């Protein structure tokens, strides 16, 4: 079997950009993957297209070989855009291989070590009451056993630090009261806090409400600062969505800077690279909770990973049953009682709805710039 084409679909149905990859073979099999939209998204799509000439004529089942061809064959160690492109291609190759063997991808990664995959979704709201009500809906209407929220109040960059801490405590307390003691609550300041001492103070404010984890409490550039924070706080530290390959995660783990690893399988290098990162974590008694905010293809890849990874903890999840994301694929994976069912269909378990995604190209975007009161550009 040989690769005869690599197609890229830049899609926006009104919610966000998606960069889908489709690998075609001479045996009439195809595989679907997705590259993370690290931005500029058009650049990521062009890198996928750039690799096309490298891959045509190659055996798509030699996934480790083709990963090394793309990664080692690039002139410098890749950054976020190159690794996002590699991840999109790599996940599509696994879909091909699963279909070629007539089995789900997890069977090729060691087989199932669990029967269903626990998930959480993000919750939000401008006031403590609004975020608490969203949490209540997630638990009562959707059956979720865990949620994640931004701890700081909206517009935190324009508030005094005392106001931020008071608002953080009010939000966390409201959500805990709304969902009770048994639902887990993850906290994600989105790497917007620069000073380690402030992250420590925020951790102290929320610690009595027993968060599941404190995600990206600091920027990812300085793992030693994160390690120092981890030694002081009494909440599990989670991070990794901005990191890629086993090499960057090795440095994070070696610094003893993390409790829960959060690789994004559409950015870190793909499924097999995610398994290698998980193995590094397992050897250091760490669990893995993949970053997965994009939608149904990311979810499908995450489910295959989770099914076959012993130290998996929980998967980030976007509700795929309604809204624009529902149109992206033919049939979403079933969510029941806070867990995703593990498909037994060959490959990653989903197919793109190509008729729906045609004619909806990528849109130029960037995160809203965060401006502090004195005009300084804050982290976002």
Catalytic residue among 49, 101, 190, 360, which?
A: 190
The domain in which residue 97 lies consists of: 3-103
Q: What is the CATH number of the domain that holds 87?
A: 3.30.390.10
Residues 199 and 238 in one domain: yes
- Among the candidates 48, 70, 103, a domain finishes at 103
Residues 25 and 85 in one domain: yes
Residues 97 and 120 in one domain: no
Q: Cα–Cα distance between 360 and 120 in angstroms, integer?
A: 29
Q: Cα–Cα distance between 229 and 164 in angstroms, integer?
A: 19
Q: What does DSSP assign to residue 158?
A: G
**Mean pLDDT calculated for residue range 277-287:** 98
Residue 49 annotated in active site: no
Q: Which of 210-224, 241-255, 317-331 has the lowest mean pLDDT?
A: 317-331
The answer to the question of residue 64 being in a domain is yes
Q: Assess whether pLDDT exceeds 80 at residue 155.
A: yes
Residue 322: predicted pLDDT: 78
Residues 158 and 53 in one domain: no
Number of structural domains found in the chain: 2
Residues 146 and 215 in one domain: yes
| Terminal Cα-to-Cα distance of the chain (whole angstroms) | 45
CB 294, CB 34: distance < 8 Å: yes
Residues 49 and 138 in one domain: no
- Among the candidates 54, 88, 103, a domain finishes at 103
The answer to the question of residue 39 being in a domain is yes
Q: Mind listing the pLDDT tens digit for each residue in 193-242?
A: 999 999 999 999 999 999 999 999 999 999 999 999 999 999 999 999 99
- Among the candidates 63, 81, 103, a domain finishes at 103
Residue 366 annotated in active site: no
Catalytic residue among 30, 101, 224, 291, which?
A: 291
Residues 182 and 244 in one domain: yes
Residues 92 and 239 in one domain: no
Q: Cα–Cα distance between 92 and 72 in angstroms, integer?
A: 19
Q: State both tokens at 361.
A: 């190209």
CB 111, CB 308: distance < 8 Å: yes
Residue 379: predicted pLDDT: 86
Residues 148 and 75 in one domain: no
Could you tell me the pLDDT band of residue 154, with boundaries at 50, 70 and 90?
A: very high
The answer to the question of residue 169 being in a domain is yes
**Mean pLDDT calculated for residue range 164-181:** 98
Residues 256 and 173 in one domain: yes
Residues 263 and 323 in one domain: yes
Residues 36 and 113 in one domain: no
Q: What is the CATH number of the domain that holds 268?
A: 3.20.20.120
């Amino acid at each position: 079997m040989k690769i005869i084409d690599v197609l890229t679909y830049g899609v926006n149905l009104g919610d966000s950009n998606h960069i889908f990859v489709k690998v075609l073979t001479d045996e009439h099999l195809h595989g679907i993957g997705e590259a993370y939209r690290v931005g500029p998204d058009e650049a990521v799509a062009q890198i996928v297209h750039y690799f096309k000439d490298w891959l045509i004529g190659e055996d798509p089942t030699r996934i480790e070989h083709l990963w090394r061809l793309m990664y080692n064959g690039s002139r410098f160690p890749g950054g976020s855009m190159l690794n996002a492109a590699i991840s999109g291609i790599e996940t599509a190759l696994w879909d091909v291989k699963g279909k070629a063997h007539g089995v789900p991808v997890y069977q090729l990664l060691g087989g199932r070590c669990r029967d269903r995959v626990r998930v959480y979704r993000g919750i939000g709201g401008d006031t403590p009451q609004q975020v608490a009500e969203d949490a209540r809906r997630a638990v009562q209407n959707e059956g979720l056993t865990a949620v994640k929220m931004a701890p700081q109040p909206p517009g935190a960059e324009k508030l005094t630090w005392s106001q931020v801490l008071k608002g953080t405590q009010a939000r966390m307390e409201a959500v805990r009261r709304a969902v009770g003691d048994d639902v887990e609550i993850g906290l994600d300041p989105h790497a917007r806090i620069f000073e380690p001492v402030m992250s420590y103070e925020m951790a102290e404010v929320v610690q009595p409400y027993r968060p599941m984890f404190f995600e990206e409490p600091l920027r990812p550039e300085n793992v030693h600062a994160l390690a120092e924070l981890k030694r002081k706080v009494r909440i599990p530290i989670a991070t990794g969505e901005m990191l890629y390959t086993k090499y960057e995660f090795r440095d994070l783990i070696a610094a003893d800077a993390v409790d829960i690893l959060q690789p994004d399988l559409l950015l870190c290098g793909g499924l097999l690279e995610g398994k290698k990162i998980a193995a590094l974590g397992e050897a250091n008694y760490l669990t893995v909770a993949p970053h997965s905010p994009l939608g149904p293809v990311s979810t499908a890849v995450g489910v295959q990973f989770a099914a076959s990874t012993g130290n998996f903890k929980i998967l980030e999840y976007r509700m795929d049953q309604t809204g624009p994301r529902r149109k992206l694929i033919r049939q979403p994976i079933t969510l029941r009682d806070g867990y995703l069912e593990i498909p037994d269909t060959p490959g990653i378990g989903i197919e793109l709805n190509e008729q729906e995604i045609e004619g909806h190209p990528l849109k130029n975007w960037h995160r809203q710039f965060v401006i502090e009161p004195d005009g300084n550009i804050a982290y976002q």
